[in-house]
Amino acid sequence: MNFSVPRVDDALVAALQHKIDRKTKPLGALGLLEKLALQVGRIQNTLSPQLGEAQMLVFAADHGAAKAGVSPFPQDVTWQMVENYLAGGAAINVFARQNKIRLHVIDAGVAHEFGPRDNLIDAKISPTGTRNYLEEPAMSAAERDAALAKGIEIAQRVADSGARVFAFGEMGIGNTAASALITSQLTRTPLIDCIGRGAGLDDRGLEHKRALLQRAAARAALPADADALTVLAEFGGFEIAMIAGAMIGAAQRGGLLLIDGFIVTAALLVAVRLAPEVRDYCVFCHHSAEPGAQAQLKSLAAEPLIDLGLRLGEGTGAALAWPLVQSAAAFLNEMASFESAGVSDKEPRG
């Protein structure tokens, strides 16, 4: 499999910074939007970046450990929510419609037979979801590699239709637990600091999730320096693996990556271990309320654009932040400069 991603070009950094600085505003006055404009220009290697329509890829899959009680919701909610996406009724449907984002729903391994359906991409790695990592590795090396390859292929296919902006979302009951295990291992953070309430566990449920995940980590007994591929196969899930692949595929095509929530960022931790260059294509959209997000963002040196206290996933944080990304490109392309507007940029001297 080819994980190689080109480095983001820095040939235009000085020219982009000059263009940003000559806009009719005090230096740096557009704050984070200025960094974003510079990043978008660098990724597209132009002073006039064009974003076009954003593509939201929502990957769904089931987790064997869900039946052990790591989530307050039953596993069936995964396929039921996929039906909700297809019917247009979930939060991500609403925000994608509102902000004119194209939604792609991908079955990476949901334990449910959907049959042939319009608007559902069938990329099932297994008809039953991952295995229970409390007992054995969640996936085989072959399954993991198939999921990564499929993710690369899907993102590249979307890129080849002309897309330049990719957002990632997920649905999979139990996937905050898998993400906690991955995050703890790849950022070398104590597991306890990576485990949160997910879809809404109460205090007792949280204690139970902590105990189960400590058991899972003890069973896997990975060395501290275990590589990302091993960690991914150990804890899953198929949606996380496919998102990691899709991130690599999108970056290989020079796309801008909009990163949402805790699970998507766990997938990114895997992707950057496989291809470190992916990091520079990422815009961190929303600061997840899951406690493990702290370790993720620190390890990626990331500063999310917004914090609305969301703890939903589905790509909602990315969909909500998309207009800000558009604003960054718009000011770079459309705002007048001191010269073009005839605005004085200095006190006259002498």
Ligand X SMILES: Cc1cc2ncn([C@H]3O[C@H](COP(=O)(O)O)[C@@H](O)[C@H]3O)c2cc1C
Ligand Y SMILES: O=C(O)c1cccnc1
SS3 content of the chain, % helix, strand, coil (to 5): 50, 10, 40
118 vs 110, 122, 157, 260, CA distance in Å? 17, 10, 17, 26
DSSP letter at 23 equals B
What is the CB neighbour count within 10 angstroms for residue 6?
12
Residue 261 in contact with ligand Y, rule: CB under 6 A:
yes
Binding string to ligand X for residues 165 to 194, with x set by CB under 6 A, is what?
A: -----xxxxxxxx-----------------
Cα 131 to chain centroid distance, Å, stands at 23
Of 226, 312, 330, 335, the residue at the interface with ligand X (CB under 6 A) is 312
Residue 143 in contact with ligand Y, rule: CB under 6 A:
no
Of 172, 311, 319, 322, the residue at the interface with ligand Y (CB under 6 A) is 311
Residue 180: partners with Cβ closer than 8 Å, 6 or more residues away = 191, 194, 195, 196, 213, 292
Residue (73 or 331) nearer to ligand X, CB: 73
Residue (16 or 177) nearer to ligand Y, CB: 177
Q: How far is the CB of 203 from ligand X (least distance, A)?
A: 14
Chain positions 152 to 181 lying near ligand Y, rule: CB under 6 A, are 176
Q: How far is the CB of 19 from ligand X (least distance, A)?
A: 39
Q: How far is the CB of 190 from ligand Y (least distance, A)?
A: 19
Backbone φ/ψ region at 293: left (φ over 0), alpha (ψ -120 to 50), beta:
alpha
Of 86, 312, 324, 330, the residue at the interface with ligand Y (CB under 6 A) is 312
Residue in the block written with tokens 């953070």: 189
Active site residue 53: no
Q: Catalogue the active-site residues.
A: 314
In the complex, which residues of this chain contact ligand Y (CB under 6 A)?
176, 198-199, 261-263, 288, 290, 311-313
